[in-house]
Amino acid sequence: MVYFIVLVPVAIVVAILMLRIRFRAEFNADNRIIFFGLGRSGPEIDFIAGVGRFRLFNYELGKFAVKRVPRNFSEAGDFAGTIRREAKLREKTAGQAWSIFKRSLKPLYNFFVSLFKATVIEEMKAEVAGGFDDPALTGSTFGYYQAAIGAVPALAGRVNYYPDWMGASLSGSFKMSVALPLYRLVGSFIRLLWQLPLREIAKMAIGKKKGASDGE
């Protein structure tokens, strides 16, 4: 009984870690869909229908409206002003900040490289048809495409370009699904925390917070 109580949580944790963080996008004449979640669970946004869906193991649990938020440049200006005011409150010197940045650069680089290597392309399909008013320019573009396919054979069959010799035009479709095993993300993140100068970063953050409190 004791072994069962211990093994069940361990098995659940292992099963969760084996899931993949997945990003899927599909853009063409009929669909504008983006999905981001764990395994088959997570939010899916359909921009054409204006609807978002919560999915659990690919089953729809609920919907929410998707609204476009226009850019407000006046608010952007206020935000930039706030950033500038906060920057003036820093008590740490630029030399210390640069030292922390240099020590953090390699761990961050290794972190993102490890995630890139662990990412799996489950599906990728892109088709582009187009051309220019000048057929010579269309031919040059098609030549660059052929050179890219030759340099990266993995793109063959996944990315297709169809030149239009009749004139200027552009159309196409795109579909992609990439996934990252959760255990690889957790392992890389733990390694990153171990390598980062967290004590120096914490000291700088505390100094910045203290400066902000004194300025209020």
- What is d(CA 113, CA 96) in angstroms, rounded to the nearest whole number? 26
pLDDT at 75: 43
Q: What is the pLDDT of residues 113-168, one digit of tens each?
A: 999 888 888 888 899 999 998 889 999 999 999 898 888 777 788 889 999 998 88
pTM of the model: 0.53
Domain spans of the chain, in order of start? 2-65, 93-215
Whether 206 shows a pLDDT value over 60: the answer reads: yes
Whether 37 shows a pLDDT value over 70: the answer reads: yes
- What is d(CA 108, CA 53) in angstroms, rounded to the nearest whole number? 34
Could you tell me the pLDDT band of residue 209, with boundaries at 50, 70 and 90?
low
pLDDT at 162: 92
Q: What is the pLDDT of residues 146-155, one digit of tens each?
A: 898 888 777 7
Which one has a higher pLDDT value, 164 or 203? Answer: 164
Could you tell me the pLDDT band of residue 198, with boundaries at 50, 70 and 90?
confident
Least-confidence region, from 54-58, 67-71, 102-106, 121-125: 67-71
Mean pLDDT of 73-99: 54
Mean pLDDT of 173-185: 89
pLDDT at 74: 46
Q: Judge contact between 25 and 45, C-beta under 8 A.
A: no
For helices 94-118 and 198-215, the axis angle rounded to 10 degrees is 130
Structure letter (DSSP) for residue 96: H
Mean pLDDT of the chain: 79
- In 3D space, the residue among 65, 15, 23, 68 whose CA is nearest the CA of residue 42 turns out to be 23
Could you tell me the pLDDT band of residue 215, with boundaries at 50, 70 and 90?
low
